[in-house]
Chains A and B, each alone.
Chain A
Amino acid sequence: MAQLTLPAQKHHIRSFLGKWIGLVPFFLFALLFILLPSLGLLAGSFLDADGNFTLKNIAELFTTPFIVNAYKLSIQISSVTALGGGIFGFLLAYSVTVGGLPRPFRTAMITFSGVASNFAGVPLAFAFVATLGRTGFVTAILKNVFGVEIYQTGFTLYSFLGLAITYMYFQFPLMVLIMTPALDGLKREWREAAENLGASTFQYWWRIALPILLPSILGSMILLFGNAFGAYATAYALTGGALPIITIQIGAQIRGDVLHNPNLGYAMAMGMVFIMAISLAGYSWLQKFSERWLR
């Protein structure tokens, strides 16, 4: 018996190795440059200065006021721009799909969205300084044409509102890119069936289209949330660190140990990863619902 199974087992092992050997470079890369760095931060966040296990860093995330505020600010700016960008992006996607605008408008909108959603970081910040800064183009138009001096009303680009307006530039185009195919998935028959049964346009949208689209709308907004939550360069270039969102605080910690506790810095980073992971999980959970009707 043993003599019979041994060669078979050997062959099995060899074919197993032969199968997976082609993926060794990829897994090695993932191990070295994704897994190890993440595990390094994860492990660090559970260690104290002497290298002993501790939960103190995690606890301090919730008790140190400036860390709590940084998370809060990041969550606020991400939520506001995800909601605003989501709604506006949805309306744009609506207008170029079922909204009745001619086909070329759709092509133009998709192209612009592809460009704008990839245009971010330092150049984006500078573009908005030229637009809504103290001597910006739109600032001047508002003053000369409409007689509104926005900087007299307390507005400044280097504030929460200013950063939100800037983030919107890459947020709503992303929504357009995700929602356009989803809106294409609405079948003409559904609308016809609803109309034959005497439904008004409002009833069709409220009772049929929106419930079908809701999982994709919410899922896309979660993606927008993550998109803004991880952003660093735009905020740093625009406000120079004056608006202490969590990525900026982590950046300060990398530059120099401002917390006087490197392990607390690792814990801050892991907190971010944790929030991002939850959002992605929520997204893929919602994705299941939207696939039921829209493919």
Chain B
Amino acid sequence: MNLSLRLRKFPLWSSVWFVIGILYFFMPLYATLDFSLRMERDKISLKAYQVAFSDGRFLDTFLTSNILAVATIIASVILIVPTAYWIRLRVPEARRIVEFITLMPFVIPAIILVFGLIRVYSTPFKIPFTDIVFLEALTTFEIGTDVLMVAGYMVLALPYMYRSVDTGMRTVDVRTLTEAAQSLGASWVTIMWRVILPNLRSALLSGALLTFAIVVGEVVLASFLGVDAFGPYLFLLGQHRAYEPAALSFIAFLLTWGAMGIIQLVTGEQGQAAGAH
């Protein structure tokens, strides 16, 4: 009787699905790792990693992508934290419209966004009714392109960043904190820097890591705006090499894993999905 009871209690189907799911997760990773270790004939070695890392173009593009990621994160925080704060404190009626805007990137995929950016910003800006150019086309000079890249990445990261910050503000009582700080004579800058931001630490960290995960491997914006970032580099490498792209793909996976792992540690929540598919 005991055995049959135990058999009935054993969640057979659940276990089957679970095992298939885990296999689906790990097969591609294992295959990539396995492949990346076989650059040298008949032996396991880290040669592919050595070769990949010693390529100067890898270092350059990877550095570029990281700088872009950091710039995006900083700019997003500067834009979104005061906005979310202001909505909570002064104009709650703006919440719906701002939330709606932050969801727009779900309707406008990266390929459409870059198309639109190129259409609008690849012509010089003239003072209306004259031929006087007051701003060259952003796509024609480096700083202009960088501005477009960071702005585009900010748009792609907007839903995740805004949601993280807004959830973070919900858990701390922003109004009381502000009133307390004000009655102690703090200025707005002090309130932001010393009171609000520290209280949003874990929310900002998870928003920042998600943004990092989106930006570092991003291909669409970078390749169409002609920026030598890691994503396009990896793509080109895959056109004519076999083992090095596998090695770098595995590294990219570890980075994603690291980012998501830290998010889960600091927030104790389930991860969110983002990313440039």
Contacts and interface: CB of A to CB of B under 8 A. Distances in A.
A122 B235 contact: yes
Contacts, number: 280
Interface stretch (A6-14, A53-61, A231-239): A231-239
A230 B263 CA distance: 26
B11 A99 contact: yes
A202 interface: no
| Secondary structure call for the A interface | helix
Closest 8 CB pairs of A and B: A114-B271, A37-B116, A230-B109, A99-B14, A95-B14, A137-B31, A100-B11, A22-B86
B234 interface: yes
A88 B246 CA distance: 27
Contact of B108 (A38, A119, A120, A251): A38
A196 B182 CA distance: 59
B247 to A, nearest CB: 10
Interface stretch (A147-155, A206-214, A270-278): A270-278
10 contacts: A111-B264, A117-B273, A118-B273, A121-B217, A124-B249, A130-B35, A131-B31, A131-B32, A250-B115, A251-B224
Contact of A34 (B104, B118, B234): B104
Contacts of B166: none
Interface stretch (A23-31, A62-70, A185-193, A287-295): A23-31
B246 to A, nearest CB: 5
Interface in A228-261: 228-234, 236-237, 247, 250-251, 254-255
A124 B275 CA distance: 12
B14 A100 contact: yes
Contacts of A126: 32, 234, 238, 245-246, 249
Given A114-B271, A177-B272, A254-B224, A233 B219 contact: yes
B133 interface: no
